Amino acid sequence: VTVVLSTGGCGIALVTAATVLTIDVVRDRREARTYWDDNKAEMDIRRAVAKDKDIDDENVSVTIWNGVVLLTGEVPSQRNIDTILDIAKSHNHTRQVINRIELAGRTNMTSRANDSWLTARVKTAVAASGTLDATKLKIVTERANVYLMGLVTTAEAAAAVDIVRTVPGVVRVIKVFEYI
């Protein structure tokens, strides 16, 4: 089925997004169903956290890879952390929850922008290394701590950690890999 949109470039954007998504799924080591389930679960958990009226001033990131939920960010109370953990654990796609939420005030925009910049630098370093396929890794940065997720061999994990450690600004590298 081909759909042609004639509204000034939207068709190109639609085709490009679909192409990138297809390439992403094809190159991923997870089964296509797991890929979709991970993405849906991420959205479901984020939505549930955002809707919960008892959670104040949260800055929480939810990242899922192969059913493993990584929670990062900061919240002002232990009660908030407990509620977020309950939400994540209760999702039917969740196999494991790794809690790295800090009991702290929300980071400022400068800190979050730095984390985004670090993530981009790490992805670039991994891609430029020529030793790893960057599409096999999920990279999450919070407070300059870089979390590495993915289905990897032990050799790939070691190479990834060695590369990421050399990126200026990275405080710590945390492995959240599943080994194949």
The answer to whether residue 64 scores a pLDDT higher than 70 is yes
Cβ neighbors of 101 (< 8 A, separation 6 or more) are: 60, 71, 72, 73, 74, 75, 81, 84
**CA-closest candidate to residue 49, choices 17, 18, 75, 15:** 75
pTM listed for this prediction: 0.84
Q: What is the CATH number of domain 109-179?
A: 3.30.1340
Rounded CA-CA distance 51/136 in Å is: 32
**CA atoms within a 13 Å half-sphere pointing along the CA-CB vector of 162:** 9
Class of domain 32-103: alpha beta
Residue 26 binned pLDDT confidence (cut-offs 50, 70, 90): low
DSSP state of 107: P
27-63 confidence digits (pLDDT tens): 788 999 999 999 999 999 999 999 999 887 789 999 9
Angle value at C-alpha 60, between 55 and 65, nearest 5 degrees: 130
* b/e burial code for range 48-82 (CB count within 10 A of at least 16 → b): bbeeeeebeebbbbbbbbbbbbbbbbbbbeeebbe
Helix (H, G, I), strand (E, B) or coil at 110: helix
Q: Which amino acid is at 28?
A: D
Domain ranges of the chain: 1-28, 32-103, 109-179
